[in-house]
Amino acid sequence: MIRPLLCRSAGLLALAFLPLSGCVDTPGVIPYVDVQVDLNLSLPAYNNLNFPNNWLYISGGSRGLIVYRYTLDEFVVLDRHATWDVGAGCQCTVSPDGYTIEDPCSGSQWYIFDGSIIQGPTTAPLERYTTTWIPPVLSIRN
Q: Domain coordinates of the chain in residue numbers? A: 31-141
Residue 4 has pLDDT above 50, yes or no: no
Rounded to two decimals, the pTM is 0.79
pLDDT digits (tens, 9 = 90+) for 46-81: 999 999 999 999 999 999 999 999 999 999 999 999
Instruction: Supply the pLDDT for residue 62.
Output: 92
pLDDT of residue 27: 60
- DSSP letter string, 41-100: TTSGGGGGGGSTT-EEEES-TTT-EEEEE-SSS-EEEEE-B-SSSGGGT-B-EE-TTSSE
- How many angstroms separate the CA atoms of 122 and 142, rounded? 22
**What CATH number is given for 31-141 in this structure?**
2.102.10.10
pLDDT at 3: 43
- pLDDT value for 9: 44
pLDDT tens per residue, range 14-46: 444 444 444 444 567 888 999 999 999 999 999
pLDDT exceeds cutoff 60 at 122: yes
Q: What is the pLDDT of residues 87-106, one digit of tens each?
A: 888 999 999 999 999 999 99
pLDDT reported for residue 6: 42
Q: What pLDDT was estimated at residue 57?
A: 97
The H or E element containing residue 25 is: none
> What's the number of CA atoms in the CB half-sphere (13 Å) around residue 30?
27
